[in-house]
Chains A and B, each alone.
Chain A
Amino acid sequence: MIYVKLTATEIEIAEILEKDARLTNEDLAKMTDLSIDQITQIVKKLEETKVIVRYVSLVDWTKIDGHQGVTAMIDVKVTPKRDVGFNDVAERIYRHREVKSVYLMSGTYDLSVQVEGHSVNEVAHFVSQKLSTIEGVISTTTHFVLKKFKHDGTIYDSDDHDKRIVVSP
């Protein structure tokens, strides 16, 4: 792992973009009192060093009529391998297209794996045929997500209506 040294301003730009990646370089320049050139440089640095990994939108798919899809969080117990520890098994898991995230966890299991599929059957198939057959995987416990209330710091369907009076002293 190579650590990147960033200034306070560079960190601030990363923080702003993490909340809203659609702000233009011009907006960012105004918000931080820097020139557009300086911002361009900083954003380039953040991208090249992979501090900013990717720009994403948070989409609430459940809003879409007819949408089908399920998310499962799977607790995976693993026998670590000599020399590579958990990395080898983790890679064999995260290479699968269905897998959205893989974290190494402290506690009673080792890997937390998030899987998305069109149906419960599809996910069940993945767990029984692919995941549990990987060498080193001792056990899996699958939890299906029923409803997302909050994701990545954002509350879905929050009441963000401004309740303030229009003019106040």
Chain B
Amino acid sequence: MELKTSYLAKHVRQLQPSGIRKFFDATAGMTDVISLGVGEPDFVTPWNVREAAILSLKDGFTSYTANAGLIELREEIANYIDENYCVSYDPESEITVTVGASEAIDIALRAILDPGDEVLVVEPCFVSYAPLVTLAGGVPVIVESSRDHDFKVRPEQLEDAVTDRTKAIMICSPNNPTGSMLSRDEMEQVCKVAKKHDLLILSDEIYAELVYDELYTSFAAIEGMQERTILVSGFSKDLAMTGWRLGFVCAPKEITEGMLKIHQYAIMCASTMAQHAAIEGLKNGRRDVTEMRKSYRQRRNYIVQSLNEMGLTCYKPEGAFYTFPSIESTGMDSETFATRLLHTERVVVVPGNAFGKSGEGHVRCSYATSMAQLQEAMKRIRHFMEEIN
């Protein structure tokens, strides 16, 4: 056993498995579970999008595409970003279709990092950010956003963390797990830091379509930022296409060329049928997205008020489909809370520390689940809170 482990590279051995995985294993074999632990939509991909994939298979589109993805898809992506976020990208040289936004983040980091380069990672955040920086040979420097500031990073925090090795700031807004979104003004503050120290912004904009009260601004749309922004997004969240594994990354030509080299050797190209489906999604899927957004907004309002009433104080998120209530009033740490809630009430929430140390004291509750399920989950959590008090 010892010998076999020794085959593994040191940095891989040192890599911690995701805390979410551990929690997933704990639910194995349990029945009557209501899960608020799911990081994907409860909707199924719209039918016209599924049908486009079926038709593409019928028509025999089963071979590789260009490395960067079908040009029709890249053109649709360019149109979409231009129309919605007022940023122009050249589909020929600045857009790459990837296997989910996850791959986009990976190739972006691998393309820009020399060994020892530092990336400011704003936590709490998606579980893969810091490990991917490490795997790319970089050093993740954690910058913690706090509940006191509605989980929004402050420019002075970034300023304090910058060294002469800092290459990029990695940020996701609207955020997983907090749902918090930077205002345009707050984004401009972040951009000032980036410009001052000549940093790239690696912006994960996967939840851009799921914003409920305000207009969304892309980092690339802020003046002078397109040249230093790597915009990562995909089709998983807005078109409910998580299982298709399809994302994209937009970046200046030179950076795109670098990423494309890695992509072509590691991946070749994203799944062809998924690309055909995404073309249909971009062309005719907007109405579905509007419907889903409306429904998420109602559920967000419902869950935020319900949790606050129980003493699980929670910030009203501007986007995504997560709430991140504080469990301080229970005196438990997030793993204890989540474990006890699972065993006594059979409700799954994800411990906040899975998303970084600054997530401790919180749990992530996804409201991408039906109203009926949410109502039952709130009933059970209310019962749990009454029992422990």
Q: Which residues of A contact B (CB under 8 A)?
A: 12, 16, 20, 23, 27, 30-33, 162, 164-169
Contact = CB atoms under 8 A, between A and B. Distances in A.
A160 to B, nearest CB: 9
B298 A169 contact: no
A17 to B, nearest CB: 12
Nearest to B37: A167
Contacts of A12: 294, 298
B20 A162 contact: no
A31 B299 contact: yes
Interface in B296-343: 298-299, 301-302, 305-306
A32 B301 contact: yes
Contacts of B39: 168-169
B174 to A, nearest CB: 16
A101 B37 CA distance: 45
A33 B375 contact: no
B375 A164 contact: no
B127 A169 contact: yes
A169 B24 CA distance: 10
A165 B33 CA distance: 12
B106 to A, nearest CB: 14
A169 B369 CA distance: 15
18 contacts: A33-B305, A162-B42, A162-B369, A164-B38, A165-B38, A166-B24, A166-B27, A166-B348, A167-B27, A167-B35, A167-B348, A168-B20, A168-B37, A168-B38, A168-B39, A169-B18, A169-B39, A169-B354
Interface centre among B18, B298, B299, B350 (most CB of A within 10 A): B298
Interface of B: 18, 20, 23-24, 27, 33, 35, 37-40, 42, 126-128, 176, 294, 298-299, 301-302, 305-306, 348, 350, 354, 369, 371, 375
Contacts of A27: 302, 371, 375
Nearest to B30: A166
A169 B206 CA distance: 13
B42 A30 contact: no
Contact of A30 (B176, B305, B348): B305
A161 to B, nearest CB: 11
Given A27-B302, A167-B350, 10 more contacts: A16-B298, A23-B371, A31-B298, A164-B42, A166-B24, A166-B27, A166-B38, A166-B348, A167-B23, A167-B37
Given A16-B298, A27-B375, A167 B38 contact: yes
A20 B383 CA distance: 25
